[in-house]
Amino acid sequence: MSTIKSSSNNYCINVLMVMIMIIISTIITLADCQTSISIPFDTTITNVSPRISIPQNSEAYKVENWVAYGIYLGIVFLVILAIGVIFYFVAICFFCFRLCGLCGGCKPKKKGSSRPYRKKDMLIPAILTMIMYIVILVLGILGIIFSALFSVNVRTLVKETRSVISGVNGTINGVSSLGTSAESNIPILVNGFSSILTDAEQFATPINNMTNTVQSGINAMVFINSTTAPKIYADVENVRADLRILYNNSRLSGVPNPDTAIPNVQSQVEAGINTGVSYLEQGKTTIAGAKTTLDNTISTTRSTINSTVYDTVKGSVINTLNSVTSQISGINNMINQYAPSTTIDEAQTIIYSVENARISLVTIFFVWCAFLYIFALLGICCKKAILVEITSCCTCATAWLFFLVASLQIPIFILVNDLCKTAPGTVLYMSDDVGGPVLASTGFNITVNASVIIQRVANCSGDQNFITSALGNDYLTSLGLSSMLSSATGSIKGQLDSFNISSTVDSAKDLILQANITNIKTDYSADVFDAQTKLNTAIAQLSSIESYSGFSMKNVTNALDELNAYTTQYGYYYTLANITLLDPDSSPFNVTETSRNKTRDEKDQVLTLLQIYNETMTEVNAVNATLNSVKTGLSTLYNDFVLLSSEIAPVKALPTTLVDQLTSLANSVIAFVNGLKTSIDSLVISVLTSYINATLKDSLGCAYVGTYVSTINSTVCYGMTNQTFLTGLFSIMIGVAMIILFFILIILGKRIRYQARKGEDTGTDTVEMDMHH
């Protein structure tokens, strides 16, 4: 049997013994075991010599080891008490010797005045008295504080012990409701298996998402067909109309044919969108059908689980849990017989009363010490030797009590401190010896030692219970309960095969691919660029009016120059701006008929050529306006096609995305079913664990044990141990200080009594004084 060493968390031995009782009682109850427990104590006592270490592990079985350790504690008690007696004896001897004239005597040895002591002779003993008084006062206050803390921890210990006893009784009483609890928690069992349906329902989300994605694609294409596309169609017709004007202009050559340069976008886009929408609608319906199939399968599987699990488990588990009720009731009766609630109440009342009396006495004791030295201070201030001498006597009479307290406190500290360090390991060692046969007799497959069980229960917290805490997460296997649902797994595995949506997924993929959305042409930028290039070549003719129509502005200039060549002889010069002011019928141009006619002919020639020029420019401007309109229209078409492509791009990516998602969905469902078939056995364990935990939570909850252990560790092994040690240490220090103060007060009392009066002559002779003076 392995030995479990104590950890840094040192628990009180009483706590561990309580846990042993609880765990062993629980295991015995579950197994209906009637085995009697015998602890192999060796009561033989031969030659006993003191031992300073507390018995551990196998040594704890021998009574003589405990006797030897007790002798050691007794020696510590006697040594401290002897030190106090020695100090007390020395003080009494000192007092008696002075009465007999030794050690300085009780009166000065006269060689002069009968009052040889001045005020300066009082200074040192008075200061020492004040210092010792302050030391005793501080130690007394600290003693009261730590004694009060000790009292608080005692009350906490009693309260928590009462609480853990109530918890044990509550646990035992709660076992009677195991059957009812098991019945009421059947839904937990059913819901636990239904978790596989919850996992299956996760596939509804991607199916719904795919349905929504398809609908979004349909909506996008309908929007394009009703909003974006009609505007593009109108822009195409506008460009065609303007381009046709240029195309029909006989003066221009190389203008692209509007019917071929700009494709019939409407016939291609509209037909593609309508076909795509039709197939996507069918694909959406098929995908929605996959969800319906999945929902129906989940519903059918749930019915199978409910009927199979409920019928298989209800009787077996409930009957198993009910089988322990009578044994637990017997333990309850035993506890009520040996530790009835009235006895516990009386014990608590007695402990509280004793502790109240103890703290009151301690307080009075320490306050008495502080009050006692008030007399000494009054004696010093009022020069009353009698007060100082009375205080010295009371000091000597009281000092031994502190050594008595210390002689009790220090051994108690040693005992509790040793127990806190070694008792956990010893108890765990003994529990393996005692608990091993008990665990073997249960008939369960429990592979851990009793010491491990105790350690686990000591750390019980939250919703843990005694069974789960003691036996660990694999307690179902240990108790043989994991096979109860094995018959249910076959039906569940068979039902899982119905989770098959592969055929539906394949149909949906075919319909989505037939939508042929990716082949809808929306990028006509090449056609636009080609038309723009041809148009740029054609409009190069508009670089000058001469290249456009053959007419040159030079003709107008030449005609105007001929006119001015004739009119300048009369002192007139005309430009295109004032040519209309020329009047051939006025002087000097009407002097002769020949002159009039020549002037009229020259003017008419200039105006005719100017009219031809203006008409040609009007035509050129109209062509330029149409050309600019075509350019703007082509730019607009380019932007339209970019917009159309961007709007339909997500829709074009839809088939690839949906096919991948549908393939992933089908593979996920297959992997889910295969994985669930593989893990169904572990799922049974998990579900049954949750069910047992919920059933035992209220009946066999053990969180109060962990709380109790933690509280005892802080109050006893840390709080009360340190407080006991410090109280004993302070008691020794106060006792020593009081003995020292006794000597000081004896000397000070003598000097106050024989203090020189003001102005009194002490003579020239000296006084022979003891070194104590």
Q: Which residue has the tokens 């853990």?
A: 164
Query: And the tokens for 641?
Result: 């096609």
* C-alpha atoms less than 13 angstroms from C-alpha of 573 in its C-beta half-sphere: 0
CB neighbours (10 Å) of residue 771?
Answer: 6
Distance CA 645, CA 518 (A): 11
- Name 68's Cβ contacts closer than 8 Å, sequence gap at least 6: 48, 49, 50, 51
- Name 697's Cβ contacts closer than 8 Å, sequence gap at least 6: 463, 465
| pTM: predicted TM-score of the whole model, two decimal places | 0.48
Distance CA 735, CA 380 (A): 22
Distance CA 348, CA 166 (A): 13
Task: For residue 330, count CB atoms less than 10 angstroms from its CB and return exposed for 0-12, middle for 13-18, buried for 19 or more.
Answer: exposed
Domain ranges of the chain: 55-102
Beta-ladder partners of 62: 42
Distance CA 339, CA 272 (A): 91
What is the predicted pLDDT for the residue at 640? Answer: 74
Distance CA 558, CA 577 (A): 16
Report cis status (omega within 30 of 0) of the bond before 650: no
Q: DSSP secondary-structure letter at 699?
A: T
Distance CA 148, CA 723 (A): 9
Distance CA 129, CA 737 (A): 10
Q: For the chain, list residues with pLDDT below 50.
A: 1-37, 101, 111-113, 756-773
What is the predicted pLDDT for the residue at 486? Answer: 61
pLDDT per position as a tens digit, 612-659: 777 777 777 777 777 777 777 777 777 777 777 777 777 777 777 777
Q: Which residue has the tokens 């300073």?
A: 52
Q: DSSP secondary-structure letter at 227?
A: I
Distance CA 53, CA 51 (A): 6
Amino acid symbol at 663: T
CA dist 34 → 22, 231, 330, 365, 700 (Å): 16, 95, 12, 55, 21
Task: For residue 464, count CB atoms less than 10 angstroms from its CB and return exposed for 0-12, middle for 13-18, buried for 19 or more.
Answer: buried
